Structure 1
């Protein structure tokens, strides 16, 4: 294992009824609560009414920040920061999935920071010398794992850049995770989010060190479990066991635990971010399109780990195969699984209709230092064209 420092300040409350049981005590020290949510689904499913009722009954001054879109924009973050300052919000309570949680963390950081927030905290990894506004989250959709980290992935529409860094100071103080809140999430969205979780684990797993280590062994088990629970959701979207497992697996994939001692390869994620910056497509869907093609480009540089992926995750028998042959079989198994889930397999399905745009997107992608092999813009373009 490589050296590491582990930190996670988020306290998780998991299970049916956790919101009613714990929310009042968690917000008791705050008078003004900024209640943040997305495009209105929480009002349709009753979650908004339940939480607003708790806040009002507790005598809180509630300031609403609504309309947070999928792939939240920097413009929306700045709107929230202005509202937080003008209202004197003492805590931001986000209700939703990854987009809402990311936006809340970004608002908490930006509201009272000095200088240019984008330049200081998104263009590069900055240092936070102050305490952001406290954030609490009520998770309604699994996938990003944003509830247990300090990352805020934001799209700057003017710069056509989608990015974010994990700042421990921005971790939510608490995360309320009631799996029944995810029941109104459509099956397709649930599958997309679950695949995002799987991609987080794969991108941590497919990086050095490659000798036996705890992080990789946890990751193998986690990947098997995510795949199994996705299959269960495909059969029965209302399966509580599968929904609850996927919700917690989402957190485990991004609470920094499996990254301990790992270099992490986020090249595919960075490519997907830039596709999202240009198309506003679903992030999980973009990852499904890119992963098999990207892995076929790099597997020879990490053939030992890719063959282990085939053996330990997909249970493919060696039967006299070379490591390279076994590695290819593992990638084929991943691709077949993606097709079974019904996720997109081409960039056309994500809304990209003109190949000419692909070069601009490829040129905008950034390098991931943890990858087995550096992928330059020309090769990224080849990957995009193969995915088209």
Structure 2
């Protein structure tokens, strides 16, 4: 894949020296004070932090650090960042990290522009923010596609809820393999599985008849699968990693969702599992997907059978739609095992007793786009099977 610049509506700088291009072309549009947000120490150990600070200073910016954004960002961390942005009169927020850092910054961007509590605004008053501190994203871990939309997954620890909150779009995003080379293999693989999950959850939404969005989606899913197999054997394969970078963006830039009501039921279940266990998101999805699909495939057997044929190259000859569908779900489960992700909660390191799983099930958001309208009892059964 060649370098390019793409806007939808985020300006995407893809490839070699993308950060230098983005900062030189974009950052001058905004004021002097930049808040540089990141997670742990990896951006400093890798040299990314020093490189980005140098670029910002060359552009004449004053930099305020906001470190310590955790893998599952909390609402308390959002409030901490928003308070800092107000105190320092921040003109621009630059998120350097993966989906968690970017998600946290999207909501900081909104919270810093209002005295109202964003959580109460969105979930009690059903009012969504319209003013934001401008922000950009230098992506160091792909999979979530967070750089391509304005949704953010935030954990409210007091309420025991992990859910989507709406904030800012990034004004620009940087996708450069050089900034992702040091990422541990497990994180690369689990992140890319999150991409596949996004694709599947859009694909199995409605309508489930032939359409261009889903046909593009089939190509993206095949690409993710092919390149995930490559990186599971050689995490430093640059061509495969670059493909997965753009797969991640494609899964969440809206193109695959055009004309669709999406089915993000697996994500909703995993979010609540994460709220109670703080587990790795992609790994949690890997455990949940095959079990969930075995529970719901009969309500969309033709669609699951088509998925088996077009994505997993399974022949339907001599099989019923149900048999073909189950073969596709088994192919997904086998693939998860092949790339080294967990297939049950035990392998994920979760001690899942009934009381905890019941709490997860009872607090899971039920999605309208799912081919079967699940209830909390069915989700509880799915979770128990995941053990």
Q: Where on the TM-score scale, by shorter chain, does this alignment land: which range?
A: over 0.9
Shift of 1:125: 5.2
Q: Distance in 1 between matches of 2:43 and 2:124?
A: 32
Corresponding residue for residue 19 of structure 2: 19
Q: Which residue of 2 aligns with 1:105?
A: 106
1:180, 1:240 within 8 Å by CA — same for their partners in 2? no
Structure 1 residue 136 corresponds to structure 2 residue 133: no
Flag the 1:376–1:124 CA change in 2: closer, same or farther, 3 A: farther
Distance (whole Å) between structure 1 residues aligned to residue 217 and residue 114 of structure 2: 36
* Equivalent residues of 2:22, 2:172 under 8 A apart: no
CA distance in 1, matches of 2:144, 2:126: 20
- Between the aligned partners of 1:361 and 1:108, the Cα distance in structure 2 is 30
| Alignment match, 2:127 | 126
Q: What is the distance in 1 between the residues matched to 2:301 and 2:377?
A: 23
Comparing 130-139 with 70-79, greater Cα deviation is found at: 130-139
Structure 1 residue 236, shift from structure 2 partner? 1.4
Q: 2:84, 2:348 → 1: CA distance?
A: 34
The separation in 2 between residues aligned to 1:153 and 1:89, in whole angstroms, is 23
The alignment yields a C-alpha RMSD, in angstroms, of 1.3
Out of 197-206 and 25-34, give the one that drifted further: 25-34
**1:164 Cα deviation (Å)?**
1.0
- Aligned partner of 2:370 in structure 1 is 371
Matched, 1:269 2:267: yes
Count of aligned residue pairs for this structure pair:
379
Is the contact between residue 154 and residue 165 of structure 2 (CA under 8 Å) also seen in structure 1?
Answer: no
Structure scoring higher RCO (CA < 8 A, sep ≥ 6) equals 1
TM-score (norm 2): 0.95
For structure 2, the residue ranges without an aligned partner over 5 or more in a row are 1-6
Gaps of 5+ in 1: 1-6
Give structure 1 regions of 4+ aligned residues with deviation exceeding 6 angstroms.
Answer: none
1:196 aligns with 2:194: yes
Q: Distance in 2 between matches of 1:66 and 1:252?
A: 28
Cα gap change, 1:124 to 1:302, in 2 (>3 Å): farther
CA contact (8 A) 1:155 1:277 kept: yes
Q: 1:4 maps to what in 2?
A: none
Q: Give the TM-score, by structure 1 length.
A: 0.95
The Cα shift of 1:58 comes to: 2.3
| Distance in 2 between residues matched to 1:382 and 1:268, nearest whole Å | 14
Whole-Å separation in 1 of the counterparts to 2:107 and 2:123 = 10
Alignment of 1:56-75 (within 5 A): 56-75=57-76
Name the structure 2 match of 1:217: 215
User: SS at the partner of 2:312?
Assistant: coil
CA–CA separation in structure 1 for the residues paired with 2:124 and 2:250: 27
Q: CA–CA distance in 2 between the matches of 1:69 and 1:251?
A: 22
